[in-house]
Amino acid sequence: MSVTPVVGVLALQGDVAEHLAALEHAGAKARPVRRPGELAEVDGLVLPGGESTTMSRLLDVFELLEPLRERIAGGMPAYGSCAGMILLARQVLDGRPDQRQLDGLDVVVRRNAFGRQVDSFEGVLGFTGVGELPAVFIRAPWVEKAGDGVEILARIPDTPDAGEAADRIVAVRQGPVLATAFHPELTGDERVHRLFVGMVRAAAGT
């Protein structure tokens, strides 16, 4: 019988409670993570939506930046939604000069690519390996450029009303690291979280 994986949610800012609930429904034992000792006890980590520059600063304040970089570099599965995608990227366009990155994904991300809070929207996306998903975008980024080792999982549909966003990359995976520009924790659809919990199980060999 497989062991239930322990999946943390970075609990410094953002949609922490929603991710914890979605992970529990997806079959994980979910825990908030605020300290290096708590990070050491999880098999995988979710970096939630929020404000990426604030989260970057808090990672330093709570002495989590380097331990988290080391865990990700060592193969710990990580999933970032919205601001989490920005933190995991190797480079951010339109970010603050003092913003720190986790270098978990070989992607270049444009921060607030879809506009301000008032430009938030919902839609349906085709997601490789999962199917069609409801997607909520809130001051969301998109991926400007993805490296050769990055699998593109979802793009904005190329429709007449999509404008500049048409065909933009909004979900990627590179090995044990997953990221979405949208917020699956806000829709009640747990398939992205189930995908990530499966990645954690695979990495742990359970």
pLDDT at 152: 98
Q: 143-154: per-residue pLDDT in tens?
A: 999 999 999 999
pLDDT band with cut points at 50, 70 and 90 for residue 139: confident
Q: For the full predicted model, state whether its pTM sits above 0.85.
A: yes
Q: Which of 18, 19, 38, 185 is catalytic?
A: 185
| Average pLDDT score over residue span 113-136 | 82
Is residue 25 annotated as a catalytic residue, yes or no? no
Measured CA to CA, the distance from residue 176 to residue 93 in angstroms comes to 24
Pick from 159, 192, 163: which is nearest to 81 by CA? 192
Q: Which of 18, 82, 190, 193 is catalytic?
A: 82
pLDDT band with cut points at 50, 70 and 90 for residue 27: very high
In the chain, domain spans: 6-204
CATH of domain 6-204: 3.40.50.880
Is residue 66 annotated as a catalytic residue, yes or no? no
Measured CA to CA, the distance from residue 200 to residue 177 in angstroms comes to 10
